[in-house]
Amino acid sequence: MIKDVKIKQLKINADDRGFLTELLKEGEEIFKEIKQSNYTESYPGIIKAFHWHKKQWDVWFAVKGMAQVVLYDLRKDSPTYKETNVFYLGEDNRLVLLIPPGVAHGYRVLGNKNLGLIYFSTEVYNSKNPDEQRISFDDPKIGFDWETKNR
């Protein structure tokens, strides 16, 4: 796994009324001080990739739908430099994903439902000076194949 990336498998507490799960809790390995939270929805088949931050940590949780999340380590001083990780987040795999600065990230919406993604960040977004660098989804340096592999 890419250095500093963390995942948390959520525990679902269910009863006859529904369920509850704890996303983030101070003291957990995945916890970072949150300065902004956002919610986005993306349509089936959409690829939103890649971008990365110089200072900002992201914490992602897919509320509905499913996503193929791809991470690529851009940090030259990292022992996992140029390593790629793939995670599947969403209704069928309740994970919280911590993405460190310097790790490019993006996703493809799987299935035929919108993806609902909540993401928390350790920095406030500044539209005049955004901490965000973009890389094309098909950048040959990353070389990720977004096609579904029929097995």
Q: What is the pLDDT of residue 105?
A: 98
| In a domain? residue 139 | no
| In a domain? residue 144 | no
Count up the domains in the chain and report the number: 1
Domain that holds residue 71: 6-124
| pLDDT per residue rounded down to tens, the chain (151 residues) | 999 999 999 999 999 999 999 999 999 999 999 999 999 999 999 999 999 999 999 999 999 999 999 999 999 999 999 999 999 999 999 999 999 999 999 999 999 999 999 999 999 999 999 999 999 999 999 999 999 988 8
| In a domain? residue 58 | yes
SS3 string, 83-114, reads: CEEEEEEECCECEEEEECCCEEEEEEEECCCC
| In a domain? residue 146 | no
| In a domain? residue 35 | yes
Query: Is residue 7 exposed (0-12), middle (13-18) or buried (19+ Cβ within 10 Å)?
Result: middle
Contact 56, 131 (CB under 8 A): yes
Q: What is the pLDDT of residue 79?
A: 98
| In a domain? residue 148 | no
**Tokens 């995942």, residue?**
7
The answer to pTM > 0.85 is yes
Q: What is the pLDDT of residue 151?
A: 84
Q: What is the pLDDT of residue 149?
A: 86
| In a domain? residue 130 | no
| In a domain? residue 113 | yes
Whichever domain contains 45, its CATH number is 2.60.120.10
Q: What is the pLDDT of residue 150?
A: 87
